[in-house]
Structure 1
Amino acid sequence: MASFDEVVRGRRSIGKVKDEPVPRELVEKLIEAAVWAPNHFRTEPWRFIVMTGEGRRILGEAYVAIASQGWTELTEEERVKKYDAEIAKALRSPVVIAAVCSPSDDARAVPQEELAAAHAAVQNLLLAAHDNGLGAVWRTGAPTYHPKMKQAFQLGEREELVGFIYVGYPDMPQPAATRTPGTEKTTWLEG
């Protein structure tokens, strides 16, 4: 079993994965790790939508709905190509998990803290994926925050997507990475 330091330092965004199913129990294990993220007042402001198989087409169709707004001048052949390319974005891994910030009604809950907690849950999920031999990448971008995406996943008025986590068995070498040492990013205020 890897140490915590090895898991944290070894995790990378893995965008290329095999088209091999990931067992449901393993996906549930990742989500269980996610829900242990810190959150103010124990509001647990998150939920997850897991897409596999044809279920990923909901995401693909949302990508199409957003992108196609700019296709008015395209030929039918060009539209078909663009349509296929947008659908393909959702099929890049056998599992796609939509992470949703679902804020609490607790009056003490601060919206920014609810969102931060949902992001922390995604980090836990990514670390758990790496620790379990899976590759994962957290994808966002402008379409993630578009109203049509929110509509596609039937989110509540106050809910918002924090990203899509693409998960599968790695099909690429582990990329090397470096970081600026923490000491160079730290200021100590001492008395």
Structure 2
Amino acid sequence: MHLLQAIESRRSIGKVKQKPVDREKIEALLKLATYAPNHRMTEPWRFFVMQGDGRRVLGDAYRDIAFEKATDLSGESRTLIATTQQKKAKRAPVIVAVATSFRSHDEIERTEDRAATYAAIQNILLGAHGMGLGAIWRSGAPMYHPRMKKAFGLGDNDEILGLVYIGYPEEAPVPKQRTSFLEVTTWMD
């Protein structure tokens, strides 16, 4: 697949088959991630690959975060929440948690480290698309909760930036119309 075509045709695919993904493919995606641009070659990214029972780490973190918000639940309600949260960790056969390990407390350097890690995530998404895999980048409030950092053994100077769910697509992605670049571009000659 030509690179420009891959960028234009890539879509987030949330519905994937539970068919295992070969380790070689996941390793190839992680290798692509490490080619992301990063200021002064800081390479701030960290990857946590979850497959099979390893996804339970994520499900447990989701469950604990949900329980923290709903402290007055009965046993049956708690069981339902636990089941629902564990299912989030089983949406795909492979989930890659992507984190940044900051090199300093300087906010500019931290912003650059985040940007580099976001670029690494994009490389994973493009690589997955090129391999015929479906992938979606998920984030949200749980990513920034201390319990999520604890799940992956991260310290105070680390941050989870997203989860990439990877598998074989259940169906072909539906093309979506994008706003033309002309509408968001100002030329300054």
- Does the 8 Å CA contact 2:104/2:110 hold for their aligned counterparts? no
Distance 1:40 1:185 in 2: 26
Q: How does 1:63-102 map to 2 (within 5 A)?
A: 63-102=62-101
SS at match of 2:29: helix
SS at match of 1:22: coil
- Does the 8 Å CA contact 1:64/1:87 hold for their aligned counterparts? yes
Farther off after superposition, 74-83 or 60-69: 74-83
Match of 2:52 in 1: 53
RMSD over equivalenced CA pairs, Å: 1.6
Gaps of 5+ in 2: none
Q: How does 1:31-180 map to 2 (within 5 A)?
A: 31-104=30-103, 110-180=109-179
SS at match of 1:100: strand
Q: May I ask how many residue pairs the two structures share in their alignment?
A: 189
- Does the 8 Å CA contact 2:56/2:89 hold for their aligned counterparts? yes
Deviation at 1:173, TM superposition (A): 2.5
- Does the 8 Å CA contact 1:102/1:158 hold for their aligned counterparts? yes
Quick one: which amino acid aligns to residue 55 of structure 1? G
Quick one: which amino acid aligns to residue 153 of structure 1? F
Distance 1:112 1:121 in 2: 14
- Does the 8 Å CA contact 1:43/1:106 hold for their aligned counterparts? no
Match of 1:29 in 2: 28
Deviations 1:145-179 (A, max 9, x none): 10111111110221100100000000122112111
Quick one: which amino acid aligns to residue 33 of structure 2? A
- Does the 8 Å CA contact 2:45/2:99 hold for their aligned counterparts? yes
Deviation at 1:72, TM superposition (A): 2.6
Distance 1:42 1:9 in 2: 28
Residues 176 and 187 of structure 1: CA distance in aligned 2, closer, same or farther (over 3 Å):
same
Deviation at 1:105, TM superposition (A): 5.0
Identity between Structure 1 and Structure 2 (%): 47
Distance 1:104 1:77 in 2: 45
Distance 2:18 2:171 in 1: 13
Farther off after superposition, 9-18 or 176-185: 176-185
Calculate the TM-score normalised by the size of structure 1. Answer: 0.94
Deviation at 1:135, TM superposition (A): 0.2
Gaps of 5+ in 1: none
Deviation at 1:106, TM superposition (A): 10
- Does the 8 Å CA contact 2:16/2:166 hold for their aligned counterparts? yes
